[in-house]
Homo-oligomer: A and B are copies of this chain.
Amino acid sequence: MSHDHPIDDQAPARSRPATLADIAAAVGVSPSTVSRTLHGVPRASEATRRKILAAANELGFEPNPHARSLRTSSSRFVGMVVPDVTHPYFMRVLNGVSDVVEQAGYQVLLMSSARRADKERAALRALVSQRVAGILLATSGGYEPCGVPLVFYTHVEADTGDGRIRFTDADGIGQLVRHLLEHGHTRIGFIGGPAGTPTAQERREGFRTALENAWLAVPGDYLRVSDSRWSGESGTRAALDLLALDPPPTAIVAASDMLAVGAMRGLRQLGKRIPEDVALVSFGDPLFADLFEPPLTAVSHDAQALGMRAAELLLDQLREPSERRDVRLPVELVVRRSCGCTASAATGSAQPASADLAAVVQRQYECR
C-alpha cells in the first residue's frame, strides 16, 4: 500500500492541499494525534507515529501557515525593514539575515521605508499585523514600540529595542582621518549624513574627535551634510560647495559610499585631479571601487556578517527574552589610491572579497 501510492492517485482533485484531517482519516486516528505527532510532543506509540509520518509524506502535507498563525497568533516570519532596497549594503545585510533566519525555520519579510519616517511606521504596523515573530530595523526615525521583539541594525535608536548592532563608526572615520593626516593633510573636509540622525552624528563626532586629537581645529563650513536620503547627488553638491571655499580643503572624508561616489563625480565636474588636487576617502566600500579612477580608499565593513549577527541577536531574544545587547563590529581600512598612496605592484587588483584579501590589497600599495 505504501508502494503504489493509492492515496496520492485517488486524492480528490490534487488541487486541495492535504490537511491534518486528511492524514488522520488515512491513518485512522484523530487530528489531535496527528498534530501532536508532527510536533513530536508526547511520545506517541511508535507504530502510529510511523504511520502518521508516512501518510504525511505520502500526501505531501504542509501545514497551513495561516491556520497556524491564526491559532497561535504568531508567524514564522521575521520582519526586516531597510531604508533602501536598492542599496547593495542593505541587500548584503539581508543576505546574512536570510541565511541565519532560514536556518532556524523562519522566513524574512522585507519592507522598505524609503528612508521616510512615515513609511517606516507603516511598515512596522504592517509587520505587526502580520504577527511577525520579531523585527530587524534600520530606523529612519519612524520607530515606535510595537510589542514585538525588535533589534536595531546600522541605524539605531537610543535606549530602546531588544538589541542593537552596528559597526565601529567613529573609529572607522578616525582611521580615515589619521590616514589622511599621515599624508600631511591639515585642511580636511567632511561630507556627512543628514543632520539629526544618530549614525550620521556619530560619524561626524568621530571626524571631529580624530582631528582634535591631532590638535587641528575644524572650520564649521568644512562640515557638510547630505540630504535625508544620503544621495549621491547631495554628495556631489557637498563636494562642489567644499571646493568653492577659500581656502578649500585638500582632502575630503565622505561618511558613506554613495556620498563618496557623488563627491567623486563632483570633483570630476570641476576638473580636479584625485588625489593630486584633492584626496578623497570613504566610510563604506562602494561596489567596484577597485575599478574607479583612481581606485577609492575606503573603510570596508562586512555587511553580511552584520546581518548574520543581527539575526542571531533577534533569534536569541525569541528563544528567551533577555537584556538588551549592544554589539559593535569592527571595520577595516582598504588603502587604494584616492588617498594619495601609490601602487607598488601592477595596477591589477581584485575587489577585496574577504578580510584576508583586503589585507593583501593593502600590502600592494605603499604609502608615499
A51 within 8 A of B: no
How many copies of this chain sit in the oligomeric assembly? 2
A33 within 8 A of B: no
- Say yes or no: A130 contacts B346, CB within 8 Å: no
Query: Would A85 and B95 be within 8 Å (CB), given that A288-B288, A348-B271, A350-B265 are in contact?
Result: yes
Contacts of A348 in B (CB 8 A): 265, 268-271
* Cβ proximity bits A201-243 to B, threshold 8 Å, 1 near / 0 not: 0000000000000000000000000000000100010000000
- Say yes or no: A91 contacts B95, CB within 8 Å: no
Give the residue of B98, B107, B130 whose beta carbon is less than 8 angstroms from that of A85: B98
Contacts of A107 in B (CB 8 A): 111, 126
Once bound together, how far apart are the Cα atoms of A65 and B130, in whole Å?
A: 7
User: CB within 8 Å of B: which of A79-105?
Assistant: 85-88, 91-92, 94-95, 98
* Cβ proximity bits A140-151 to B, threshold 8 Å, 1 near / 0 not: 000000010000
A254 within 8 A of B: no
Query: Would A291 and B290 be within 8 Å (CB), given that A62-B129, A130-B65, A348-B268 are in contact?
Result: no
Once bound together, how far apart are the Cα atoms of A92 and B112, in whole Å?
A: 12
A349 within 8 A of B: yes
A354 within 8 A of B: no
A15 within 8 A of B: yes
User: CB within 8 Å of B: which of A262-302?
Assistant: 264-265, 268-271, 286-288, 290-294
Contacting chain B: which of A4-12, A66-74, A319-327? A66-74
Query: Would A85 and B94 be within 8 Å (CB), given that A109-B109, A130-B65, A265-B348 are in contact?
Result: yes
- Say yes or no: B112 contacts A98, CB within 8 Å: yes
A181 within 8 A of B: no
A53 within 8 A of B: no
Q: List 12 A-B contacts (CB under 8 A).
A: A64-B129, A66-B70, A70-B70, A85-B91, A85-B95, A86-B94, A107-B126, A268-B349, A271-B348, A287-B287, A291-B293, A292-B292
